[in-house]
Amino acid sequence: MAETGSYRLFEDYLKEMEDFLDREANTIRDKRLQFLAKENNMSVSDIEKMDDVQFSVINFTTEMAYDPEFSGLSDYDHYFPMIFRQSLFLALYADCEKYLNYQCQELQRMRNFSLSLKDLSGNGITRARNYLTKVAQVNFPDGKEWQEIQSYGKLRNCFAHNDGELTGLSESDAKFLKEYASKNPYLEVKEATVVFIEIKKGFCEEAIKVFDAFTVKLIRSCVEKRFET
């Protein structure tokens, strides 16, 4: 369970959406099975035992294949979950960056630092870390969560700037993400007309835990520095 308020909301939203997508897919799947069983004078269990080729044959020889009432299964099974998980992951990363920037701004205000975050070169979470460590002298939480968030940064850039495609990335970034995905059970590298990364169910759940644990440590360190005498 997430500790910080925003991550609890992310957690609840994620569960609600994943449950909704599963329900919609299962509803369409059940309707398809019942229709096919009736059309072919078979039981639903007999239809379920068919291999992919057999199922495709009876599926596309019925009017069901062209009936909008039965369409959308691939959308709820694959497309909608894929774009939902990508967008949620991007939102999680943006929220973490927001926390980092906010702590920089608050420390500047409370400690009256002459340098602001915008005075430093670079951008994103790396610039915020540099401000917190070099200007504010915060005991920054550089542990396993931060290391994972840095990896998330490369994944985030791939989704935000390249629609999840490894094709077109630099050789080093593509290699890193392939290796990263191979070690994560909730990421998969797929090859079609392009090579891309797909987020599977479970990845965002783990990411919420990582971002939440890091944010709790970050806030504690920054609060200590704010009121340091």
Local structure of 61: helix, strand or coil? coil
Question: Where is mean pLDDT largest: 2-11, 27-36, 119-128?
Answer: 119-128
Query: DSSP string spanning 142-172?
Result: -SHHHHHHHHHHHHHHHHHHHTTB-TTS-HH
Per-residue pLDDT tens digits for 66-125: 565 666 667 888 889 999 999 999 999 999 999 999 999 999 999 999 999 999 999 899
Q: Taking the CB of residue 119, how many other CB atoms lie within 10 A of it? A: 11
Query: Is the pTM for the entire model greater than 0.75?
Result: yes
Q: What is the pLDDT of residue 168?
A: 85
> What residues does each domain of the chain span?
5-226
- Assess whether pLDDT exceeds 80 at residue 21: yes
Helices (H) and strands (E) in the chain, counts: 9, 2
The CA–CA distances, whole Å, from 176 to 83, 112, 187, 212 equal 22, 40, 13, 24
Distance (Å, whole) CA 117 – CA 104: 7
Give the helix/strand (H/E) hosting 192.
none
The model's confidence at residue 50, banded by pLDDT at 50, 70 and 90, is confident
- Report, as an integer, the average pLDDT of 174-188: 96
- Nearby residues of 129 by Cβ (< 8 Å), 6 or more positions away: 100, 140
Q: Taking the CB of residue 66, how many other CB atoms lie within 10 A of it? A: 9
- Assess whether pLDDT exceeds 90 at residue 63: no
Q: Taking the CB of residue 19, how many other CB atoms lie within 10 A of it? A: 10
